[in-house]
A and B are shown apart, each in its own frame.
Chain A
Amino acid sequence: MPDASTILQQNAHVAGGGTTAGTTRRRAPVTGEGPVARAVLIGVAIAFLSLFLLLPLVVVFVEALRAGAGAYVAALTEPDAVAAIQLTLMVAAIAVPLNLVFGVAAAWAVAKFEFPGKSFLVSLIDLPFSVSPVVAGLVYVLLFGAQGLFGGWMRENGVEIIFAVPGIVLATVFVTFPFIARELIPLMEEQGTGDEEVAMTLGASGLQTFWRVTLPNIRFALLYGVLLCNARAMGEFGAVAVVSGKIRGYTTTMPLHVEILYNEYNSVAAFAVASVLALLALVTLVAKVFLESRYSDELAARSH
């Protein structure tokens, strides 16, 4: 197999041949663009990133600290904010492990086995990516709402789903379902069934094979998927807004609480809570960058 740098050089020749046809071929810049073009392109990219990503992030923290550190702390220790943070963590703590189990099971089934309806299962896994979160929320209202399919029976039997924590968990599980499975399926497909077959031949049971062979093979991809899933679980707004009922301090997750505070003209508190979400996102990002480097090592190691 050719290594990455030769491929890059070949591509550069193709690109260079197109743009600098007839002129003398320079050796130094691999990509074929002159230093000016490169500086402009990099400058545009950086300006764009600063304007659309970095600046809003900075604004969140500036607005949050506008009234001083005291107001910032007060906004975060206010009971409704604490309840929102707790609820968000709890929803993530339920949704992520559930999707961990479902995701690994689904990826395992799709990548290691052939069965009828496999492509249907794959499209089903992708469904939450293509369905609008609002629709995802409304579907649960139609199923479990008082006027819904099962809602009347559930109310009579004291089961609360919509406008309570279970509904928020359901909606979150729905929208975050593909993250782990989608992360694992390509990797597990690439790895094939060779290792497992060897383990089986050597007398390992199915569970032993999974725990000792498959799981270690996918651990970084799995962690990466968990991080993405967690980030979305904590940040989900649309689907949760539909099923929440917006009961302050009870069914408001952090994103909903941010909106409520903003609508109460309390922008310091709104941005304080938003900054916690942003911090959680930054932690996720750092962990992701770290894992990405590990994960690519792992992938590189596989091909040897």
Chain B
Amino acid sequence: MTFQPGRKTFQRAALAAIAILSTISMPHAQTVLLNVSYDPTRELYRDINKAFNEKLVAEKKKPIAVRNSHGGSGGQARAVIDGLDADVVTLALSADIDAIAQRSQRIPANWQSRLPNKSTPFSSTIVFLVRAGNPKAIKDWDDLARPGIQVVTPNPKTSGGARWNYLAAWGFGLKKFGGDEGKVREFVGAIYKNAPTLDTGARGSTVSFAQRGVGDVLIAWENEAYLADLEFGKGKFDIVTPSISIRAETPVSIVDANVDKKGTRELAEAYLQFLWSDQAQAIAARHYYRPVRPEAAAKDDLARFAKLELLSIDDDFGGWAKAQATHFGDKGIFDQIYSPAR
């Protein structure tokens, strides 16, 4: 007869398994800040966190652990509303922080006036990334509406970057058609008809375009376009700067209810103020974000930013509250122009 493990063997094995499993330790607590951010800032905040700790050490304070969570800006805001314990939020647009303030009351409504520059330490803009040599000759927004062009852009419902993409296209349309909204709708609708799939976050779209080779043109954050260019080696893509784009302001805030509960308010405020420091501004410019204090950044880094006409969310679209409701709310213009296309 073959080997049959007996009852004793089985019981012993079970006990041994329990003993081994119980020795696996729990992750232990330490002084921690949780920065809930949007998708493309992973590399930026890795450097900023390091610089912030260096500053703390230089001031003879204890270094802290900054934990990061990244994802589509809208989804991240949703997670904070649902209880993700963020000390600070650094999101892609103010509407997402407004949503946290309104729905969870964990941030006061006047949050944007608490820090300089409407709580925006650096901004970005929206550009195009195309395949090397620009085979489809894409130069400006109207090329994206041409039949046969495949556009890659994330979903404005979940991604902050995608909402900037959409508004930049809308702004171009407004200028081109002299404010005729019917024509602008048709124009932006034609661009989204050329976008077969919408990823949930900007990084997902970049990976689709750059790594999986989907599409002819990626509408992307300027910083994301440069980063993809660096990561995949020069010469694989060209960056195309359209004639008009939008100043994509990416604001920051502490989450008051969370920092008060955890007793991390002082540290969280210091962390956000650090974003306006010379060091952080220089780091931002190095990562292709446009700093609000360009004098702190390296000249070479600044020289890389193309000069173009930038629309403003407040002056040209009446602020995020209005733009959000008009364009991205339930049954807003985006819903109207996108659903029939499918």
Contacts and interface: CB of A to CB of B under 8 A. Distances in A.
Nearest to A154: B83
A247 B87 CA distance: 12
A144 to B, nearest CB: 8
B27 interface: yes
Given A90-B24, A141-B82, A250-B67, A147 B103 contact: yes
A263 B69 CA distance: 13
Interface string A135-163: 00000010011111001000100001011
Interface residues of B, number: 34
Contacts of B207: 262-263, 265
B104 A146 contact: yes
Contact of A147 (B70, B71, B81): B81
A164 B6 CA distance: 41
B306 interface: no
Contacts of A247: 34, 67-69, 84
B67 A297 contact: no
Nearest to B2: A297
A38 interface: no
A216 B203 contact: no
A148 B82 contact: yes
Contacts of B34: 247
A147 B104 CA distance: 8
Nearest to A246: B69
B40 to A, nearest CB: 10
A146 B21 contact: no
Given A146-B81, A216-B7, A216-B10, A86 B25 contact: yes
Q: From DSSP, what is the main secondary structure of chain A's interface residues?
A: helix
Interface string B20-63: 01101111000000100000001100000000000000000000
Interface string B310-326: 00000000000000000
B103 to A, nearest CB: 7
Interface in B196-246: 203-204, 207, 211, 231-232
Contacts of B81: 146-147
Given A97-B18, A250-B67, A265-B231, A151 B27 contact: no
A216 B10 CA distance: 8
Contact of B203 (A89, A90, A212, A263): A263
A146 B83 contact: yes
B79 A245 contact: yes
A250 B65 CA distance: 11
Interface string A274-304: 0000000000000000000000010000000
Interface string B178-212: 00000000000000000000000001100100010
A219 B10 contact: yes
A248 interface: yes
A279 B103 CA distance: 44
Given A147-B82, A250-B27, A263 B7 contact: no
Interface of B: 2, 5-7, 10, 18, 21-22, 24-27, 34, 42-43, 67-71, 79, 81-85, 103-104, 203-204, 207, 211, 231-232
15 contacts: A83-B27, A90-B26, A93-B21, A144-B83, A148-B83, A155-B83, A215-B7, A219-B5, A245-B79, A247-B67, A247-B69, A248-B68, A260-B70, A263-B203, A264-B42
Given A163-B85, A246-B70, A260-B70, 16 more contacts: A83-B27, A89-B24, A90-B26, A146-B83, A162-B82, A212-B7, A215-B7, A219-B5, A247-B34, A247-B67, A247-B68, A247-B84, A248-B68, A263-B204, A263-B207, A265-B207
